């Protein structure tokens, strides 16, 4: 057990053992009892691995030897991100040391499925709690919660020499954010692949920005990955839900299911011409 200030952090670093891994995978969440695919699969490259690796290389998200923690909330996005990065480390020569960090934002649930999932991948699992927790939905509670999470993550990870925190945002999240920024703030800005604030303890990265939510959900479902859904008490009041619905309406009316990826491509082109806000940020 690691102690980080007033927080308690648990770490599990199991020795690799194929039989134990198979058992834990079955317990961790394979819905059909067949377990996850842990071996090399040439179809994974075209499906998701090549796109993610291209994003990592293009924006220099991970350098050889980096210690990288995945923010593992338990939702499909973060669970899938951990698997993809693990797959790239194991089968695509991505040279980094993977960790997983779960930040508890509520009481009354068991994080054992996440711990077992990490044990199956032989990825060290850390857990800490959000203190204090957002008490009121007044103002932008999402922004407040995000800042609190970054602070909790920094306190847990910095003593371990981990300077990079990976988020499971994807192209659909980017498209929703772009619509929000244009409509509410008159800014042509999506989600940056890399946010490195001067003097900050952590650099935030988003390796899955090139994948749509549909692709992420399909990977999660097909591979039988675990799911730990912890509902947000303010979800119904989140303005993002309005723009999520608007994006879906646009996709349907334009008959463009790949609209999030098209918006990503447009922002990347704007970046190359000096007029976009997609690339690495330093604020």
For CA atoms 250, 251, 256, 259, the dihedral sign is positive
Question: Does 143 have pLDDT greater than 80?
Answer: no
* 79-102: burial string, b at 16+ Cβ within 10 Å, e else: bbbbbbbbbbbeebebebebbbbb
> Using an 8 Å Cβ cutoff, are 51 and 58 in contact?
no
Q: What is the pLDDT of residues 116-138, one digit of tens each?
A: 999 999 999 999 998 766 555 54
Evaluate whether the domain defined by 2-272 bears CATH number 3.40.50.620.
yes
What pLDDT does 140 receive?
63
> Using an 8 Å Cβ cutoff, are 111 and 74 in contact?
yes
What pLDDT does 108 receive?
84
Q: What is the pLDDT of residues 27-51, one digit of tens each?
A: 343 333 346 777 889 999 999 999 9
Structure token digits, residue 163: 């300077």
What pLDDT does 277 receive?
62
Cβ neighbours of residue 225 closer than 8 Å, sequence gap 6 or more:
29, 36, 76, 79, 80, 83, 117, 219
Average pLDDT in the chain: 83
């Amino acid at each position: 057990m690691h102690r980080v200030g007033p927080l308690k952090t648990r770490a599990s670093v199991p020795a690799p053992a194929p039989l134990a891994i198979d058992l834990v995978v079955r317990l961790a969440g394979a819905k059909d009892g067949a377990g996850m695919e842990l071996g090399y699969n040439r179809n994974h490259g075209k499906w998701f691995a090549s796109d993610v690796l291209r994003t990592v290389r293009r924006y220099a998200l991970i350098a050889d030897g980096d210690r990288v923690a995945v923010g593992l909330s338990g939702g499909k996005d973060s669970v899938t991100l951990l698997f993809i990065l693990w797959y790239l480390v194991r089968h695509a020569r991505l040279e980094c040391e993977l960790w997983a960090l779960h930040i508890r934002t509520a009481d009354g649930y068991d994080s054992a499925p996440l711990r077992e999932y990490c044990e199956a991948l032989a990825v060290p699992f850390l857990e800490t709690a959000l203190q204090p927790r957002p008490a009121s939905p007044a103002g932008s509670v999402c922004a407040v919660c995000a800042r609190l999470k970054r602070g909790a993550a920094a306190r847990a990870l910095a003593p371990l020499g981990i300077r990079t925190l990976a988020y499971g945002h994807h192209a659909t999240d980017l498209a929703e954010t772009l619509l929000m920024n244009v409509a509410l703030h008159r800014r042509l800005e999506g989600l940056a692949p890399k946010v490195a604030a001067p003097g900050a303890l952590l650099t935030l990265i988003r390796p899955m920005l090139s994948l749509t939510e549909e692709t992420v959900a399909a990977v999660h479902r097909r591979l039988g990955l675990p799911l730990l859904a912890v509902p947000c008490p303010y979800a119904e009041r989140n303005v993002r839900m309005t723009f999520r619905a608007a994006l879906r309406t646009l996709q349907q009316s334009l008959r463009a299911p790949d609209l999030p990826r098209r918006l990503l491509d447009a922002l990347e082109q704007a970046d190359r011409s000096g007029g976009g806000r997609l690339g690495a940020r330093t604020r």
